[in-house]
Amino acid sequence: MQNKTVKKQLGYYDYDQKNTDQILQFMQHLHQVYIPNHTDENDNNNKLQRVILKTDYLGFERQKKVQCHVQDRRTPSKTLEGFVSALFDFHPEPEWLKIA
């Protein structure tokens, strides 16, 4: 049985996109709130469910940079393994909405 996909708008967060530490804090916050089975303990029995995080190219680049920054940590939650990066071009979408 497949679960229905849930799409959520994250809203506005006041973080500097150029500051890796602030992006790391933002992604850790998202990971704690939106990733099922998130735990800071090293528990192999409790597998993280993965969530697709769609961003534009700049956001994708920042996300990958942060994930490379934390790849040496010990638990899946601390290495932000719950996120699956995906590129999504938001810019043409408003144009399609105007036409339709």
- DSSP H/E element including 55: strand 51-55
User: Virtual CA dihedral for 80, 81, 82, 86, nearest 10 degrees?
Assistant: 100
pLDDT tens per residue, the chain (100 residues)?
577 777 777 777 788 878 888 888 888 888 888 877 766 665 555 677 788 888 888 888 888 888 888 888 888 778 888 888 888 776 665 655 555 5
pLDDT of residue 43: 56
* Residue 57 domain flag: yes
* Residue 3 domain flag: no
Q: What sign has the CA pseudo-torsion 60, 15, 79, 7?
A: negative
Query: How many CB atoms lie under 10 A from the CB of residue 64?
Result: 11
* Residue 28 domain flag: yes
Number of folded domains in the chain?
A: 1
For residue 57, give its domain range.
Answer: 20-34+47-99
Nearest alpha-carbon partner for 52 in 16, 3, 8: 8
* Residue 39 domain flag: no
Q: What is the pTM of this model?
A: 0.68
